[in-house]
Structure 1
Amino acid sequence: MDDRIRRHAEILVDHCTEITADDNVLIRAPTPAEDLVVALYERIGEVGARPSLSWSNSRAGRAYARAMDAEDFRLNDARLAAMEETDVVILIAGSTNAAETSDVAPEKSAASSRASGPILQERLDKRWVITQHPTPADAQQAEMSTEGWEQFVYDAINRDWDAQREFQANMVELLDPADEVRIVAGDDTDVTLSVDGMDAANDYAKQNLPGGEAFTSPVPDGVDGEVTFDMPVMRNGREVEGASLRFEDGEVVDHSAGKNEDVLTSILDTDDGARRVGELGIGMNRGIDEFSYNMLFDEKMGDTVHLALGKAIEECVPEDREFNESDTHVDMLVDMSEDSRIEVDGEVVQRNGTFRFEDGFESE
């Protein structure tokens, strides 16, 4: 077995989830990730924990969704029960066909998300991590060779996460006490987000592998302005290009897209919370320097900001603050590499992709 796969498994078990002998571990993976599953079972066995495996299959999921009526989607009680008995969840992505579910009607995808909401909530109460196993299909989507994609994935994963945590702490220290963040990029993005009373957090590969962002949850009614997401959004195998949103008092009041606008509409129509921002994330992983059409990597890029429509981040919302509830959480990216700035309480903390605590920062 490739030593990089064994290292991947070690990071998942030892760093991301800190599995112990007392843990029940649920692994959900596609069949192309079999080598990583085997490596995980080996490492979990060395720890003495108890793993269980749930294979995912996009072809089967497509067949089921196309056969269902949207109003017939309902909670899978068996999956919920399994999640309730789990201590640690490891979710692995990796496709044989990245567009397998592209002909599933968007309203069915939204209905499935609503039905699975209690399972998502239960999982978020566990120790969990999402990661990627490299496959040729995902390499093709990223417009890379198979070997190039593999190296890209492992370079992003096998990092000094202690050093990454310290670098990102600089941004967390700015965000945590802040009242307001403003994002300006080009002529089409100028949006302000109230973060008053919210907590900022540091993603150094505890729940996402790779990690690499500082993030918080905005006040639900505290987002105003316009934002154009100039990087594509992949949703259920369909690519949304040129997505644009206009916010008033926290809610999306107008939206458009240059391609697959119906997919964007279906996201917004998931529930009331899907029309509000649940997360503001600032990418800080300098080891990811190429757009790959894979949000797990793209949202961590150092020259990006992402807003997520839908469910807020629990660790960022104190008990005395309003929490944005939703059965979806969809990240969308803004390119901050040029003609852009991030302001925190009126002070520029990033300009054209360079943070003020990095060499090369231009204050004006």
Structure 2
Amino acid sequence: MDPRIRDHARIIADHSTDIGEGDNVVISAPADAEDLVVALHEEVADRGATPVYTNSSERAARAYLRNHDGEFETPSHLLALYEEMDVYVAVRGGENASETGDVDPETTAAHRRAMQPVLTERLSKRWCGTQFPTAGFAQLAGMSTEGYENFVWDAVSLDWDAQGEFQQGMVDVLNEGESVRIRSGERTDLTMSIAGNVAINDTGKKNLPGGEVFTAPVRESVEGTVHFDLPLYRQGREIEDVHVTFDEGRVVEYSAERNESVLDGIFETDEGARYLGELGIGMNRAIDRFTYNMLFDEKMGDTVHMAVGSAYAECVGEDNEVNRSAEHVDMIVDMSEDSIIEVDGEVVQRDGTFRFEDGFEA
């Protein structure tokens, strides 16, 4: 076994989820991530915890969704499992990142609505989502398998203390501010309030790799238009050149150059899917290329991402409303050129450079 796989498992067990004696641990992973699953079982055993392994198969998921009548019920047996667990580890991988590309978006939306209680329960526990470098995702990223392995494990094994110290500069800026304006090129000009909400320093505790600072907008404060100029891969489809307009926080217009029907399904999932749940600022410069994998792409330096759908409750102040939805869909804006972030009217990032970095031009 590649020693980096055991390092990956150790980081998950220690840094990300703090697995301890007596913990009930659920590990969900595809078959081609078995080496990481084996290494995780070693770590779980060393800590006196108890694992349950569930195989996550995109082929099986596709078969179920394509053959179902669309009237889904919440799986009470899966909910019961999550109620009894202390830690959840989700490993991404698979041979074909487009496996579910021919599932009807409306079916996917209906299934996500039924799964919302399960998702809510899972997110209430200690959890970590991570990536195993499979050939399918290497191909999606346009990389060799070996090159992708190096990319993933270099990103996972970052010095998270040093990365967190760097990101704290932006955490402080957001926590001291009340309003944010994001401008990029001629097609993105968006404002929002973050008053009373909390910025989180992501150092690989829940998503591994980490490398962002994120918060939640005040639900009905988002105004303006944003052009998400980097594509996203969702439900096995590539969505390109997305434009979204917000009025009083709600999505009132949207378009995509490619696979707009996937956006239809997302925004029709529930009312919360039409509101912004997250503002994230990518700060991990070790992730230096776009890979069509949001786990990595949203962390890239010189980017901003926004997620329609559910907000993370820990970001929302007690006087503000938590946006709730069965969806949480991140989309990215390239901030490397002709772009600024303003907080309370003051420029805090210009063309990807933060005000606390060398080379910043006010």
TM-score by length of 2: 0.99
Residue equivalent to 1:83: 82
Residue equivalent to 1:357: 356
Residue equivalent to 2:64: 64
Residue equivalent to 1:181: 180
State the distance in 2 between where 1:267 and 1:362 align: 39
Q: C-alpha offsets along residues 88-113 of structure 1, whole Å, 9 cap, x if unaligned?
A: 00000001101000000000111111
Residue equivalent to 2:344: 345
State the distance in 1 between where 2:110 and 2:318 align: 29
Residue equivalent to 1:303: 302
Q: Determine if the alignment matches structure 1 residue 37 to structure 2 residue 37.
A: yes
> Shift of the alpha carbon at 1:352?
0.5
Q: C-alpha offsets along residues 15-65 of structure 1, whole Å, 9 cap, x if unaligned?
A: 000110121000000111000000000111111111111111111110110
Q: Which residue identity is paired with 2:166?
A: F
Q: Which residue identity is paired with 2:187?
A: D
Other structure's SS at 1:167 match? helix
Residue 272 of structure 1 contacts residue 326 of structure 1 at CA under 8 Å; is this kept in 2? yes
Q: CA RMSD in A?
A: 0.7
Other structure's SS at 1:19 match? coil
> Shift of the alpha carbon at 1:320?
2.4
After the TM superposition, which residues 215-234 of structure 1 pair with which residues of structure 2 at under 5 Å, given as runs?
215-234=214-233
State the distance in 1 between where 2:88 and 2:103 align: 27
After the TM superposition, which residues 72-221 of structure 1 pair with which residues of structure 2 at under 5 Å, given as runs?
72-221=71-220
State the distance in 2 between where 1:218 and 1:91 align: 27
> Shift of the alpha carbon at 1:260?
0.5
State the distance in 2 between where 1:291 and 1:254 align: 27
Residue equivalent to 1:312: 311
Other structure's SS at 1:69 match? coil
> Shift of the alpha carbon at 1:209?
0.2
Q: Determine if the alignment matches structure 1 residue 3 to structure 2 residue 3.
A: yes
Residue equivalent to 1:54: 54
Q: Which residue identity is paired with 1:15?
A: H
State the distance in 1 between where 2:73 and 2:345 align: 46
Q: Which residue identity is paired with 2:155?
A: A
Residue 274 of structure 1 contacts residue 328 of structure 1 at CA under 8 Å; is this kept in 2? yes
Gaps of 5+ in 2: none
State the distance in 1 between where 2:345 and 2:149 align: 41
> Shift of the alpha carbon at 1:359?
1.2
State the distance in 1 between where 2:260 and 2:69 align: 22
State the distance in 1 between where 2:230 and 2:94 align: 21
Residue 243 of structure 1 contacts residue 264 of structure 1 at CA under 8 Å; is this kept in 2? no
Residue equivalent to 1:276: 275
State the distance in 2 between where 1:55 and 1:282 align: 32
Deviant stretches of 4+, over 6 Å: none
Q: Determine if the alignment matches structure 1 residue 329 to structure 2 residue 343.
A: no
> Shift of the alpha carbon at 1:292?
0.4
Count of residue pairs the alignment pairs up:
362
Q: Which residue identity is paired with 2:105?
A: P
State the distance in 2 between where 1:361 and 1:133 align: 36
Residue equivalent to 1:25: 25
Gaps of 5+ in 1: none
State the distance in 2 between where 1:344 and 1:140 align: 39
> Shift of the alpha carbon at 1:173?
0.2
State the distance in 2 between where 1:115 and 1:235 align: 19
State the distance in 1 between where 2:330 and 2:289 align: 17
Q: C-alpha offsets along residues 151-187 of structure 1, whole Å, 9 cap, x if unaligned?
A: 0101110011011111111000000121111111111
> Shift of the alpha carbon at 1:115?
0.5
State the distance in 1 between where 2:58 and 2:283 align: 31
State the distance in 1 between where 2:205 and 2:120 align: 18
Other structure's SS at 2:317 match? coil
State the distance in 2 between where 1:313 and 1:104 align: 28
Q: Which residue identity is paired with 1:265?
A: D
> Shift of the alpha carbon at 1:321?
1.4
Residue 17 of structure 1 contacts residue 88 of structure 1 at CA under 8 Å; is this kept in 2? yes
State the distance in 2 between where 1:205 and 1:4 align: 17
Q: C-alpha offsets along residues 319-361 of structure 1, whole Å, 9 cap, x if unaligned?
A: 2211111111000000001110111111111111111111111
State the distance in 1 between where 2:320 and 2:176 align: 15
Other structure's SS at 1:163 match? helix
Other structure's SS at 1:123 match? helix
Other structure's SS at 2:59 match? helix
Residue equivalent to 2:253: 254
Deviates most, 141-150 or 319-328: 319-328
Residue 102 of structure 1 contacts residue 238 of structure 1 at CA under 8 Å; is this kept in 2? yes
Residue equivalent to 2:287: 288
State the distance in 1 between where 2:348 and 2:176 align: 14
